[in-house]
Structure formats: structure tokens, C-alpha cells
Amino acid sequence: MAANTRREFLKQAAIGAAALAAYPPPSVLGSNDRVRVGMIGVGDRGEDLLKQVLQVPNAQLVAIADVYTRRREAAKQMAPGIQTMDDHRRLLDMKDIDGVIVASPLHIHARHFVDTIKAGKHLYCEKTMTWSIPEAEECLATAKKSDRVVQIGLQRESSGSLADTRKWIKDGLAGRITQVESWMSRNTAHGKGQWVRPVPSDCTAQNVDWKAFLDGRPDHGFDPYKFINWRLFWEFSGGNITENMVHQIAWIQTALDLPEPSAACMSGGIFSEKDGREVPDTIVVTLEFPEDVVVTWQSTFNNSHYGLGERLLGSDGTIEHVSGATDMVTGRSPETIRYCPEKVNRPEGIVLTGASKNQNHMANWIDCICCRQTPNASVDIGYRSAIAAHMANIAYREKRRVTLAEAKAAVPQS
């Protein structure tokens, strides 16, 4: 959010949070009831989530809100009979909606998060939870003051690999883990920019509510390239840190039960995608955590050979999770999770391969609404992983090591 808008948003959110107790409670659902769902922002990811929610037997999609006519029409084709609208506040006014899925661009997550909770709805909010640290604080506080079920779109929190890792750590097989290496590598075809999407001919000022997209940011006139390719610009995005690192850092934080980092460093730059974007394509991050753990994450858009993975290095064993470059989105890449003993400390130890199944992350949210339980990717891991992501980006932009206290005090930069 732009500074003025952000101040206004935080002020309104503070008033809203104080008034939460006065909001109407959501409809009371039993374990056999169908959960009526709305969606805000049905672009590429929203279409995936729309398909997912249609597959959940005890959920019913009733309405979507999107600022772009093309997206509303596409959603209607996929789910005939739903209502469509441009303004998310109209959707939140609908009394018969129990839960809302937010898959809008990053810079508007906080607005949609807070508005949804204030309207008394349960929430599934795509990662990264927010665009900035102050917004993450506000969203956490708002969620904590309500009894609404919040799931963050960190679907790896529902993975079998995480369940296996947690069990091996709990059983003491890894011993003392002091270091975690993680990486994510992708390649880009010559002549094409990673993430760059063509602008459809109907992406015009008539068909897009540009002001609603900007949500108070300075208006320099309708820019269809930025509207479609918002990921490339700091004003709307946190780059690959908030797009992909956040998935892996959340997984590592949950596996090791880690809080926010105590400090972050980040190097890299725009080395391969020289197309006018602002966010780096080549990245090395170091995150220091209390209790003597350091985590590294490195990423490129220029080579995909090593795919994506995490290695947890312990005194008694190594846990290695490896998968292909696009597995988080498609689920189609090969994936392995293995434990290898350190013979010096576990001479009798044997290599283990994980066998736990992935849970359906969307169904987990719907089930938790019915049973009033905490979902796999609660607001807490949404918050901790968002803080880690923003600390890395602040360190990169300020070109220095940044502590947690410094990051919390920093003014978010567009």
C-alpha cells in the first residue's frame, strides 16, 4: 500500500478490529452442512482454487468478485449459476456466504483479509499473507480477535513430506539440526521472460476497475502491463521471495517449530530477466533463527537442473526433500523425502523413505470450518513466513543484514 493509504488502512483496520465483537456471527454450521463459498480475485491461481473448491463435496461456490470482466466471464463458464460482481464489498455483504477465498494480487491481500474477517466470514487467503510487515501485524491481530477459521494458501503445510519430517524430528532421528539448505531453480525459454504474461486485447480501462486494483496507490493512468504483470513490480509484489521462498520457509519453520528469523541477509539482482522488472531473478538468502539455526535459500530463473528442495542437516541424520521446479503449483513433479543417518552418531541407523500422503489443503479448510478446528496453515504460520519473506526483501533493498526489530521498524517501500 502507498504510505497514505497504508496509514488509512491501518487506522480503519484498528477501528475495525476493536469493533469485531460487534460483528454478526457467521451462520452456525454443523459437520453435515455445506459451506457456502465466495471468491475474491479469480485470476490464474483463483481458477485453480475455483476448480479445487468445486471438488470438495461439502462446499458450494455461490459468487465471485473480480475487477476484470474477462475473469468474471471465465469464472461463470467454469461454474455456471454463480453470481459475479466487480466490487468485493458486495460479495462480503451477501449474508448466505460462510467462507471467502482470496486470490487477489499480493498488495491487496491485507485489505481483502481484514474486510473478510470483519464481514464475519471464514477466510482462505493466498500466500504471502500480506505485502508488508505492518499489514501482517494487522491481519494477525484481526484474526486473533475473531473466531473465524483462517487458512493461508501455503499448501505444503498439508503435505505428506512435512508430516514425515516432523515425525522423524520428533523421534529424534535427526539429532540437533543447526543448518538448513533450501533452493528453488527454474529456467526460462530464450526470448521469453519468466512470469511475463501477454496482455489480452480486452484488458482496457473500460473492462478493468483500475482504481480498485490500485487500492489507493498513486494513479499514473491505466497500465495494462502492470495490471497483468504486477508480480514484476515492488509496488504490488515481493518478487520470488513472496511468490516461492515463502512456501519453503513456512515448511521449514513448521518442521523445526521456528519463530520469525532474528536476522536476514539477501544478495542477488536482475541478472537474467532484463525486461524492465524491478524484482530480482537471482537470489541468495540467509535467515538466522534463535536457538542456533541458520537457513539458506537460493533461487535462479536461469537453470532448472536441481529443481527445488530442502536439506535439514542434523548431528544424527539428514532429511532431504527434493522435488521438481513446478511441483508447488501443479503437484505433478516427482518428489522424494528421505532420511539418511549420520553413521558417526547412529551407526545402526538406516535410510528411510517417507510414505505419508498429502492432505487436500482446500478440503482441510472446509472441514475445519465445519468442526471449528485450526487448519494446517493457520494465520500463525502465515504471519511467521510473511515476516521472514519481508525481512529478506528489506535486507536486499537496504543492502545490509537486517534484524527482526529493524525490519519491524522499517517503513514499507513501494
Ligand X SMILES: NC(=O)c1ccc[n+]([C@@H]2O[C@H](COP(=O)([O-])OP(=O)(O)OC[C@H]3O[C@@H](n4cnc5c(N)ncnc54)[C@H](O)[C@@H]3O)[C@@H](O)[C@H]2O)c1
List residues binding ligand X (CB under 6 A).
40-46, 65-68, 71, 88, 103-106, 108, 126-127, 153, 155, 212-213, 243, 328-329
What is residue 401's DSSP assignment? -
Q: How far apart are CA 410 and CA 387, in angstroms?
A: 12
| Distance in Å, CB of 127 to ligand X, minimum | 5
Q: In the complex, what is the shortest distance from the CB of residue 361 to ligand X, in angstroms, rounded to a whole number? A: 9
CB contact at 8 A, 111 and 9: yes
Nearer to ligand X, 27 or 326 (CB): 326
Report the residue number whose CB is nearest to ligand X: 43
CA distance 64 to 46: 10
What are the residues whose beta carbons fall under 8 Å from the beta carbon of 348, sequence distance 6 or more?
none
Q: How many CB atoms lie within 10 A of CB 361?
A: 22
Taking the least distance from each CB to ligand X, the nearer of 156 and 346 is 156
CA distance 368 to 98: 12
Q: Could you give the 3-state DSSP secondary structure of residue 89?
A: helix
Nearer to ligand X, 1 or 212 (CB): 212
Question: Minimum distance from CB of 110 to ligand X (Å)?
Answer: 11
Which one, 233 or 289, has the nearer CB to ligand X?
233
Least distance in angstroms from the C-beta of 228 to ligand X = 7
How far apart are the C-alpha atoms of 3 and 6, rounded to whole Å? 5
Give the per-residue SS3 of 303-370: CCCCCEEEEEEECCEEEEEEECCCHHHHCCCCEEEEEEECCCCCCCCCCEECCCCCCCHHHHHHHHHH
Nearest in space to 274 (alpha carbons), one of 193, 188, 190? 193
**Cβ atoms of 182 and 240 closer than 8 Å:** no
Contact call for residues 188 and 301 (beta carbons, < 8 A):
yes
Least separation in angstroms between residue 43's CB and ligand X is 2
Measured from the CB atom, the residue of 88 and 384 that comes closer to ligand X is 88
Task: Quote the least distance from Cβ 190 to ligand X, whole Å.
Answer: 23
**Angle 243-403-166 (CA atoms, 0-180°, nearest 5)?**
55
- Estimate to the nearest angstrom the gap between the alpha carbon of 381 and the chain centroid: 10
Of 205 and 351, nearer to ligand X (C-beta) is: 205
**Considering the complex, what minimum distance in angstroms separates the CB of residue 111 from ligand X?**
7
Cα–Cα distance for residue pair 284/294, rounded to 1 Å: 13
Closest separation in Å from C-beta 3 to ligand X:
19
Nearest to 107 by CA among 277, 235, 244: 235
**Residue 42 vs 56, nearer CB to ligand X:** 42
Nearest to 135 by CA among 326, 379, 331, 330: 379
Find the shortest distance in angstroms from Cβ 332 to ligand X: 13
Of residues 245 and 293, the one with the C-beta less far from ligand X: 245
Q: Least Å distance between CB 404 and ligand X? A: 23
Please identify, using beta-carbon distances, which residue of 126 and 273 lies nearer to ligand X: 126
User: Residue 109 or residue 122: which is nearer to ligand X going by CB?
Assistant: 109
In terms of Cβ atoms closer than 10 Å to its own Cβ (0-12, 13-18, 19+), residue 132 is buried
Closest approach, Cβ 103 to ligand X, in A, equals 5
| Residue with Cβ nearer ligand X (75 or 174) | 75
CB 105 within 8 A of CB 41: yes
